[in-house]
Structure 1
Amino acid sequence: MEHAEFNKDLMEFLNQSPTPWHAVSTMKRRLDAAGFEQLDERDDWSLARNKGYYVIRNGSSIVAFRTGIGDVSLNGIRMVGAHTDSPCLKVKPNPELRRKGYFQLGVEVYGGVLLNPWFDRDLSLAGRVTLLDEAGEVRDTLVDFQKPVAFIPSLAIHLDREANSNRSVNAQTDLPPVLMQVPEADTTRFDDLLGQQVAAETGLKARKILGYELSFYDAQKAAFVGLREEFLASARMDNLLSCYIGLQSLLHTSGDEAALLVCNDHEEVGSMSAEGAQGPFLTAVLDRWCGAGKARAIAHSMMISADNAHGVHPNYSDRHDENHGPVLNQGPVIKVNHNQRYATNSRSAALYRHISDELGLPHQTFVVRSDMACGSTIGPLTAGNLGVTTLDIGVPQFGMHSIRELVGAEDGYTLFRVLSEFMQRKTIF
């Protein structure tokens, strides 16, 4: 896969994946096209060597793997992990708000959202809907309005003279998006509007909307940015960029060695769920794949947790340790925290550096300032659950947890090349 093709396909993937459910659906289509077989957790499994499989849980998390040609208990598994969710605004169950002739929806903040950039953006809406169809069956479907349908207008500076020095955002009162104007006697129900959209997209006619998990998202598409197009801007770079890199790496391996990609939901809210990294999903898949040889397989294995890193901001360079400020387009970032907020150790970092050096590719290191708190990833959670040697790494970016984020146009492809080599490497340690 060439560099230009990689970035073009990445932007298409980002545009097709406004929610975790859409991201997993997009990955499923690509795995199907590559000949991978879907497994159902409710069925017995009979796994063959030298084949590709995948398992989906809740529609929003996925484990895909190649079984390789050897004995997995002797050769181990080359694992890559990422997460499908991103901070956003989710629609509440009873969301209708009518104020001064405007129809709005109440929203709940999901994850550590950087709220200010959500104002004055063209917003669309997407997610999963559970409904009762005409035949009386309960079923799930995906919905994506795919066009600007809402807006969160800022309060004019004339009405808030301290807006540039002292404006805070109240998540309850300041964030409900405006969808349309309605008459005073309006009785529009959001469920009715949603049912119409489902019918338009899928042909399904809902007797009743039973539930939904819907997120607003930035309707602006991914794009190159910069006079020389050095950067890529998009929503959900954290962490769909890593999902895409992991998927492409798995698809481009030789298939001789056992390799696995896990993309969990709910990382942004702590990962404690049935399909999150603190839950049993990956362990359950490995139990069924490896059987009695699982402990030996894990001892021969390694996990690379890929989640974007904080690039040093030229306007706020003092927020970084002076020797550990990653620069965009200068390579993926090995993330180190000796308090185990990242799972990197000297062995896992050494293997990545060795592969990267062999390929002649750059890499960087991030350590948070000693007087600042450190974020975390699925890395320590997966390492703790499985007992597997783990590396935390990520592409450096600006605007993490904003509605629109920025990465270097070189770094994703660099990480793809290293992970592709890692996933087909005969010997890990």
Structure 2
Amino acid sequence: MEHRAANLDDLSAFLARLTSLLLRSSGEGAYAIERAVSTSAQAFGGQASLVVVPEAAVLTVTAANGSTRTVSAHGFPGVIRLDQVAALKPFLADMKAGNITVGEADRRLARIETAPAPYPWWLKFLGVLLFSLGFAPLVQATWYEITTTAVLGAIAAAFVVAAGRAPRLSRILPLVVSAVVSIVAIELFAGDPARGGPVLLMLPALFYFVPGDFLSASTTELAVGLITTGAIRLVYATFLLVQLYLGVLLGILVTGTSTHALFDTAASADLPTWAMFLGGMVFTAGTVLAFAIPYRFFWILLVLVYVTVGVQSLFTKLILETGGTFVAAVVLAAAANLLDRIPAGPPRLILILAGFFTLTVGSLGMRGLTTLAGGYVIEGIQDLQKLVTIVTALSIGLVVGIALTHTRSSTGPTAPAPPTTSAGGS
């Protein structure tokens, strides 16, 4: 089936709407916004070129009759609802196949944008809590870490739910949450250094806010030549990280604690193997609920989490942490790219997300900053140096994994590709 060529007004309005939604779902990278928008324009007899930065894009739309219009689209990349990303995959495939008209496409896209969240607020609360609890054993494999996270994670989850109803709070949410979590952690849980340093006790509860995805996405964009987009995203990721850091320092000041307490003292592990294994299930369930991923994708995400952790652990023993992270990223990206080809399966972004989080990139930055603030200059610089190395290894690994399995027929909206426009285009 071939589309009848769309007129310029309808085509421009639809492509601007599509671009805005793609921008909002580009927290993991704006790699293929141009590809998705250009392919959609061609499906309706037109053409489109874009100049993209993380929160906006300028589109030049050309209709079949040669008339041209330039429009702008805006969409802030934040913590997104991945049910919308999941709905985009069959939608883009139907357009490419010529199964819908531009009017139908615009109405269908509007339904995706306005669809209610798949889970109620209390399940989102539970999701953020489980997300923290599942991550806790990766920070310290102790029962005390899990107990502490149950309390601090509930506090963080309550703020996440509240921010959904108070948009102004969301702008400073990392700062507010880290300050409150810091105060509670220091006052209630950080009295015994043998149970772990205060930052290690706080990290699982703050992990939802740590911009490890933005840090890695910015590095990946720089690696594939999206200089403007990557640089801007890197600055924003640093800003979010500094908010968390300042919140922890506020907690230190309010409680009158010495900054020297910020040194990372790790406790001796006492979790059995079964608890570590169960942590993967808890973490995946939390990811599904916290990021509004359709629950039918739980099992495939769980497998990818276990594969990622297993590959990283194995190769870390063989070629140290940087090499283990690189190999795990290659395997994760390649697996996600191959599974993305299944029409009824989840899109690449969802497939990568849960496994990516287990690689714990962003927490290194926060630990480095707080260690520096505690006066431990050498250790803090070592943590930050490690952050740069691990982020680079992870980002290049994702690029390599997708490049090894890349096909021209991919319909997913997040495949890294060399840029085809200048000055920040994707």
Work out whether the TM-score is over 0.5: no
Structure with the higher helix share, 1 or 2? 2
What range describes the TM-score normalised by the shorter chain of this pair? under 0.3
TM-score, length-scaled by structure 1: 0.27
TM-score, length-scaled by structure 2: 0.28
